[in-house]
């Protein structure tokens, strides 16, 4: 189980790092696919408040935490709402691109299960 945890943690970290670095440094990775009207509206809304920049910074920090193996339990909790948003966005607007988000969400749930003993004190009534 420990080897599976290391593999999932590292793959998730690398995927988050890749996605955030590509966005932050505006690296073009080939031809952009045609966006639906709902996707354009969503992206315009995020651009107005500059929210995507902050989300990508959080992805970068969590990706670094997952790759290095430091603060993994914190990274798993912090990245969870972002992963839910990614999965729901792709499920609604472009189900064909749901794969990476579904992998990240499943990996996050697996890591939360693996580290469940570290979360136990959060739920103790004192």
Structure confidence by residue, pLDDT tens digits, 46-64: 888 888 999 999 999 999 9
Question: Rounded distance, CA 64 to CA 75, Å?
Answer: 9
- H or E, element range at 42: helix 37-49
Rounded to two decimals, the pTM is: 0.90
Question: Rounded distance, CA 73 to CA 78, Å?
Answer: 9
Is the predicted pLDDT of residue 68 greater than 90, yes or no?
yes
The backbone region for 94, taken as left when phi is positive above 0, alpha when psi lies in -120 to 50, beta otherwise, is beta
Quickly list DSSP for 76-97.
HHHHHHHHHHHHHHHHHH-GGG
pLDDT band of residue 44 (cuts 50, 70, 90) is confident
């Amino acid at each position: 189980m420990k080897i599976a945890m290391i593999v999932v943690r590292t793959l998730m970290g690398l995927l988050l790092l890749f996605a955030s670095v590509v966005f932050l440094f505006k690296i073009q990775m080939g031809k952009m696919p045609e966006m639906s009207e709902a996707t354009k509206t969503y992206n315009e809304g995020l651009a107005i408040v500059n929210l995507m920049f902050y989300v990508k910074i959080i992805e970068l920090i969590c990706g670094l935490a997952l790759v290095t193996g430091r603060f993994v339990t914190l990274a798993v909790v912090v990245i969870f709402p972002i992963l839910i948003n990614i999965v729901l966005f792709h499920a609604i607007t472009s189900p064909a691109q749901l794969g990476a988000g579904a992998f990240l969400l499943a990996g996050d749930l697996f890591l939360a299960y693996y580290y469940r003993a570290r979360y136990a004190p959060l739920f103790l009534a004192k």
